[in-house]
Chain A
Amino acid sequence: MLTRRDTIAIGLGASAVALLPVGAYATTTEEAIAAYTGGAEMAEGGVTITAPEIAENGNTVPISVEAPGATEIVLIATGNPTPNVGRFTFGPGSGAPMIATRIRLGRTQDVMAIAKMADGSFASTAVEVKVTIGGCGG
């Protein structure tokens, strides 16, 4: 997990981290993936998402992604009306290819991360995050 110091360190490196929209007109998950990878094969492994199994608050779900060796990470909320969350790019001064953010999830869904590696290949992973009504645990 990220520590406070790491968060600050990432903030300092922000000059090299740009948040860009993925494909301006991509409206579905498939379109978002295709727009980004151009249909290239995506390897399994090499990308790790840390997310709660069940969201405590669907309006602000903490998600972090690590992808050693990546030059870009794209985050996709597959079940949201607008799946694209963001594209994070890492330059030589950015430190470890790792992001942490909070996203809104409209319903139970897979959160997906795609990493673009230095050689131009892609890797991806996805985890399910449940958004529940709650209230009956005991």
Chain B
Amino acid sequence: MISRREFLQASVAASALYGVSGLGNWSKLAAQQALTQDDLLRFDTFGNVSLIHVTDIHAQLKPIWFREPEFNFGVGDVRGLPPHVTGQDFLNLYNLTPGSRDAYALTYQDFAALGQAYGKMGGMDRIATVVKAIRADRPDAILLDGGDTWHGSMTSYLTQGQDMVNIMNALGVEAMTSHWEWTFGTDRVLDLMGQLNFPFLGQNIYDVEWDEPYEDIPSYTYFDRGGVKVAVIGQAFPYTPIANPRWMFPEFSFGIRDERMQEMVDEVRADGADVVVVLSHNGFDVDRKMASRVSGVDVILTGHTHDALPEPVLVGETLLIASGSHGKFVTRLDLDVRDGRMMGFRHKLIPIFSDVIEPDAEMAAMVDAERAPYQAQLEEVIGQTDSLLYRRGNFAGTWDNLICDAVMSERDTEIAMSPGVRWGSSVMPGENITREDIHNVTSMTYGQVYRTEMTGEFIHTILEDVADNLFNTDPYYQQGGDMVRLGGLAYAIDISKPIGERISGLTLLRTGEALDPARSYTVGGWASVNEGTEGPMIWDVVEEHIRKMGRVSAEPNGSVTVTGI
């Protein structure tokens, strides 16, 4: 049904069009001259249905720097398979040229240098330009948002998600699903849901008390487009009440619930759907497994794990699409749907190079209006960095090291713990660190920095527990976060082992001694899921630390030794 040639049509825009761009050709001017908006948007309209997918924008209204992961290991059956391919291996797999725009957009190598040439990515005004261009070409294209939209910036925190709801309504989103949205709490989520011009989907969002689908949240919706009935089924992040504070939305239960997903697929098929799309926040490996267990799904628009893949991954006859995060990419997927089935597709992961794509004036004005009340707070310079600050990766990035240093220093602890979230933009070497930059890596509704005591044994238990959420060989037990980041502590991890056997060699860095299981240590951390956690907010702690430092420099600290890869 789907030929290799159609896969080849699916490569990233710039590589297909421009192939080689010399490593010496790094000046910004040359980069801009070589690539135009038309090049990025060029697409031979195909079939009769177009899907536009954005996901995991994390409330980034403006273009940002975002370094893709250096370490993104897969275990078990998916070891070495996309999206668990990074750096040079990624370039080889997708036939990309080192130093090219695509290499910059999709991998981590030479990020700071390439960033100078190719500029920031994303921005809702640029995304609006792309969406409008696709709709000019295919007026009834369906725009779908995979969630993690309302959370992740200072303005989304201060407006409790209002800025993003306004923007996504204006962008013309036609359905969304959810995860971090829930951290605004039940009342606010229901309030914002009521303001949406489009459905908030989730077949796996249940009423805790009755253990049945929550009646005000639809499982799916239909679109009659191009003479075709398109069903879009929503799948929220299954582990929202575990990875995030359940007490903030105690009325709701989630879970994978793939048996009900099958029921929903059967129901919409019986109701005449010609093509079935799942708008998912499962995470890539969970979606890949779900695709092998649920039949009748044509397309899964994946989310949560922030993977950007220039080609779809095919499981049976189901296409898995991964559209990246933070507004760096928009996916256009054209489908040929005939006789009640998907006959073919054409795919393009459109990189949002903010210096190449013209901002949409209307959306730019709207973004600026949303930010205007907070402009002075956002732009205040707190310090400077001499090194690249980034987070994304299975183990600590330099931002995490700086945050852990801030916690240990400001809260006077021996050890710091920082959550392995996958969101958070980067800051380039030599740049100012603004308050907005700090919020971009810390913003949340439960950011209190606790100070407590934990025994060495308990710390070990936590690390084993979190490692199993990441490296369990059954994707259904993975929660899609990265490893918890540690300050003051070194350890070794064998990712091929089962729970209880992965972590060893825990060493307190300040003494160089092995962590004593029986001794208590002072630990500072943030993002506790426990109700009633007390302490100053993490962004204030980090700001205070950076102010004292003036200039910071955070390097990869090499305190984690990884084996079993």
A56 and B243 within 8 A (CB): no
Q: Does A118 contact B (CB under 8 A)?
A: no
Q: Which residues of A contact B (CB under 8 A)?
A: 1-4, 7, 50, 52-54, 56-57, 62, 100, 108, 130, 132-138
Contact (Cβ within 8 A) B481 A138: yes
Task: Give every chain B residue within 8 A of A132 (Cβ-Cβ).
Answer: 242, 465, 468-469
Known: A1-B212, A57-B241, A136-B420. 19 other contacts (CB 8 A): A4-B210, A50-B259, A52-B255, A53-B255, A53-B476, A62-B211, A108-B499, A132-B465, A134-B242, A134-B479, A135-B244, A135-B419, A135-B528, A136-B243, A136-B466, A137-B242, A137-B479, A137-B480, A138-B423
Interface contact A137-B244, CB-CB below 8 Å: yes
What are the residues of chain B within 8 A of A1 when measuring CB–CB? 211-212, 257, 259-260
Whether B211 contacts A56 by the Cβ 8 Å rule is: no
Listed residue (A4, A7, A54) with the most chain B CB atoms within 10 angstroms of its CB: A54
Q: Is the CB of A137 within 8 A of B254?
A: no
Assembly CA distance A39 to B254 (angstroms) = 39
Contact flags B279-291 to A (C-beta < 8 A → 1, else 0): 0000000000000
Q: Smallest Cβ distance from A50 to chain B, in angstroms?
A: 7
B255 CB contacts on chain A under 8 angstroms: 52-53, 56
Q: List 16 A-B contacts (CB under 8 A).
A: A50-B259, A53-B477, A54-B239, A56-B241, A56-B254, A62-B253, A130-B477, A133-B465, A133-B466, A136-B243, A136-B420, A136-B421, A136-B466, A137-B479, A137-B480, A138-B419
Complex contacts, B170 vs chain A, CB 8 Å: none
Q: Which of B254, B423, B461, B484 makes the CB contact (< 8 A) with A136?
A: B484
B529 close to A (CB within 8 Å)? yes
- Closest CB of chain A to B180's CB: distance in Å? 8
A136 near B476 with CB under 8 A, answer no
B355 part of interface (Cβ distance < 8 Å): no
B interface residue numbers (CB < 8 A to A): 210-212, 237, 239, 241-244, 246, 253-257, 259-260, 419-423, 461-462, 465-466, 468-469, 476-477, 479-482, 484, 499, 527-529
Q: Does B212 lie within 8 Å of A53, measured CB to CB? A: no
Closest residue of chain A to B527 (Cβ to Cβ) is A135
Q: Is there an interface contact between B239 and A4, defined as CB atoms closer than 8 Å?
A: no
Is the Cβ of A100 less than 8 Å from the Cβ of B469? no
The answer to whether B210 touches A137 (Cβ under 8 A) is no
Is B253 a contact partner of A53 (Cβ separation < 8 A)?
no
A134 contacts B210, CB within 8 Å?
Answer: no
Return chain A residues, CB-CB under 8 Å to B246: 56-57
A138-B480 in contact (CB<8A)? yes
Residue of A2, A3, A134 contacting most chain B CB atoms (<10 Å) = A134
Give A56's nearest chain B residue, CB to CB: B241
What separation, in Å, do the CA atoms of A1 and B528 have in the docked complex? Answer: 32
Across the interface, which residues of A come within 8 angstroms of B210, CB to CB?
Answer: 4, 7
Bound Cα distance from A90 to B496, whole angstroms? 46
Q: Are A137 and B239 touching (Cβ within 8 A)? A: yes
- Select A138's contact among B241, B260, B421, B477, beta carbons within 8 Å: B421
Residue of A nearest to B475 (CB): A53
Residues of A within 8 A of B423 (CB): 138
Interface centre among A2, A7, A137, by most chain B C-beta atoms within 10 angstroms, is A137
Contacting residues, chain B, for A133 (C-beta < 8 A): 461-462, 465-466
Inter-subunit contact B420/A138 (CB<8 Å): yes
Which residues on A sit within 8 Å (CB–CB) of B211?
1-2, 62, 100
Chain B binding surface SS class:
loop
Decide yes or no: A136 and B259 within 8 Å by CB, A2-B211, A62-B211 being known contacts. Answer: no
Q: Which residues of A contact B420 (CB under 8 A)?
A: 136, 138
CA distance A72 to B419 in the complex (A): 46
Query: Given the complex of chains A and B, what is the CA–CA distance between A77 and B344 in angstroms?
Result: 48
- In whole angstroms, what is the CA distance A118 to B242 when docked? 41
Q: Which residues of B contact A4 (CB under 8 A)?
A: 210, 212
Closest 3 CB pairs of A and B: A137-B243, A138-B421, A134-B242
Asked if A3 and B212 sit within 8 Å, CB to CB, the answer is yes
Query: A124: shortest Cβ distance to chain B, in Å?
Result: 20
Name the residue on A nearest B472 (C-beta). Answer: A130
CA distance A62 to B253 in the complex (A): 10
Q: Whole-angstrom distance from the CB of B153 to the nearest CB of chain A?
A: 15
Which residue of the partner chain B has the closest CB to A52? B255
A56 touches B253 (CB 8 A): yes
- Expressed in whole angstroms, the minimum distance between the Cβ of A2 and any Cβ of chain B is 7
Question: Which residue on chain A has the smallest CB distance to residue B213?
Answer: A1
Cβ B243 vs Cβ A138 within 8 A: yes
Chain A residues in 8 Å Cβ range of B243:
134-138
Query: Contacts A135-B527, A135-B528, A137-B480: A53 and B462 contacting too (C-beta < 8 A)?
Result: no
A110 to chain B, nearest CB (A): 14
A136 to B461 Cα, complex, angstroms: 14
Query: What separation, in Å, do the CA atoms of A137 and B482 have in the docked complex?
Result: 7
Q: Which residues of B contact A56 (CB under 8 A)?
A: 241-242, 246, 253-255
Is A137's CB under 8 angstroms from B469's CB? Answer: yes
| Alpha-carbon distance between A1 and B255 when the two chains are bound, in angstroms | 13
Roughly how many angstroms separate A57 CA and B212 CA in the complex, as a whole number? 16
How far is A57 from B243 in the complex, measured between Cα atoms in Å? 12
Report the nearest A residue to B480, measured CB to CB: A137
Least CB separation from B466: chain A residue: A136
Q: Separation in Å of the B139 CB from the closest CB of chain A?
A: 36
Q: Is the CB of B462 within 8 A of A137?
A: no
- Nearest to B260 among chain A residues (CB) is A1
What is the CA–CA distance of A57 and B241 in the complex, to the nearest angstrom? 8
A3 CB contacts on chain B under 8 angstroms: 212
Contacts of A135 in B (CB 8 A): 242-244, 419, 527-529
Q: How far is the CA of A99 from the CA of B254 in the complex (A)?
A: 21
